[in-house]
Amino acid sequence: MQKKTGGNLCLLFCVTSGAGVIICCLGSLGYCFWVDELRDGDDFGVPASFLQMSVDIKRNVQPHQAQAGQRAAEGGRCPEQLLKWYPDCRVLSSRANFKVGGTLRPSLEQKQSLLLYTALDSSMFSAPEDMSIVGWDPVIEEVPSACAEHTTKVSLVHHMNIYAYPEEVSLELGKTYSKAEVESLHLQESSFRMLASHDKMAGKYTLPKSYGIPLSKQAMVEHHILFPKCWVFGHDVTHASGFDLYLTTRRMRPAALVGALNFNMDVQPLHGPVEWVTRISADSLLGVVQTKAGEWPEILAVHLHTHDVANTKYFEVRNADGSVEFRSKSEKAGYGLKEQSFYNLKDRLKLREGQQLMQHCLFDSDHLSEPVRYGLNPGEEMCAPLLILGGAGLRLGGTILSSDDGFLLQLHRRLRAWLQDVLHDARRLLEEFRG
């Protein structure tokens, strides 16, 4: 974790100046730590830098016809790097083919958002459950806009996810399902195991070598369509976006997507700088661990998801005693290739019993005109960590580990906590100095 150098220098000055000065220094001491913390989040000119993350991310949005021609010319081949690692690598292409904006449109309650589902056709493989996903490439379709002020095509894709779902239910190939129809089949999100994910403006992704996400006998694609506020409903446009999944039959170390949502988010205006924290508790984390294996999985990759209302974000791993095992540098929130793509960690984080994972999202609430709550529409926000875990101790199960374990931190409370820590350290160092 990055050290706060300014705070350390202040502390050294106070301790070496004697007992009387310590009391006078406490206010300025807290200020030093406070300024250092703010400074960490101010440098938005550098790329996102979660731990030492690196991945070759690219995003290629073209008209659908051009993409189809390019991919046909490539013959559905896996990327060269994957072919070197897995010579048997094959491509499973999934494309939507339904019309939206006319009959299929959001209700008044849904505002601008529409969630639709289609079955993933893996019939080209005799035993899809024996295959592993080693990467994916989102294929984004741009469509003619129904906004009077738009002169170019637009993408309506806010996110797409692929989920494995229980075998007791089967979705019909070629049919488009609404969220209500999926729920009427007794399919609940808590039972879904995510196989691939794409958020607006993200790039393609490749898992670390020798790790794979097990495919399933049956899966479905979730399409989140987000219409611009200026969209004039009444006529159809064809949605044909989807994924190219890269698969191998090789025996792989298991990997899984796990994360948390924040249905209870509530950030009120005019309360100064505040943080919303979405947490995966130690108890929730046990859901993805084979405790009998005596081994815990490690974090392979990270995506700290937000929309564009939050200002910055960072990630924390806290130990059972409350100490910080790891804290990332503060990064710019919002949309963009770096902000929305997965990143593989060069130095992986091995999880341990009792740890909890937290995504912090920082807001300047003085600039808000109305409360910010969880949602999928413009003006609504998510503070949602999505991680890829891997290793022998991993247990495959539902992706969403928690949906309402979140809380608000007002930054003056953090300053008070810092001052309490400073007082404790000052007393300890003074005793050492006197001794």
* Count, residues in the chain: 435
Q: Where are the beta strands (DSSP E) in 216-336?
A: 219-226, 237-239, 242-248, 253-260, 266-267, 273-280, 298-305, 312-318, 324-327, 331-332
Helix (H) or strand (E) holding 10: helix 5-16
What backbone torsions phi and psi does residue 357 show, to the nearest 5 degrees? -110, 135
Rounded to whole angstroms, how far apart are CA atoms 374 and 361?
12
Return the bridge partners of 357, or none. Answer: 280, 317
Nearest of 191, 211, 111 to residue 158 by alpha carbon? 111
Task: Give the residue ranges of the chain where pLDDT is below 50.
Answer: 1-24, 26, 29-75
Amino acid residing at 78:
C
* Residue 120 · residue 162 · CB < 8 Å: yes
Beta strand 53-54 pairing with 343-350: antiparallel
Rounded to whole angstroms, how far apart are CA atoms 297 and 208?
14
Beta strand 331-332 pairing with 312-318: antiparallel
Query: Tokens 């081949």 label which residue?
Result: 77
pLDDT at 183: 93
What backbone torsions phi and psi does residue 430 show, to the nearest 5 degrees? -65, -40
Rounded to whole angstroms, how far apart are CA atoms 178 and 310?
29
Return the bridge partners of 12, or none. Answer: none
Residue 158, SS3?
Answer: strand
pLDDT at 162: 98
* Residue 363 · residue 267 · CB < 8 Å: yes
What backbone torsions phi and psi does residue 338 show, to the nearest 5 degrees? -70, -40
10 Å CB burial of residue 154 (0-12, 13-18, 19+) is middle
Rounded to whole angstroms, how far apart are CA atoms 367 and 270?
7
Nearest of 40, 38, 32, 41 to residue 14 by alpha carbon? 32
pTM: 0.80
- Distance of alpha carbon 186 from its chain centroid, rounded? 26
* Residue 344 · residue 299 · CB < 8 Å: no
Nearest of 353, 315, 312, 351 to residue 334 by alpha carbon? 312
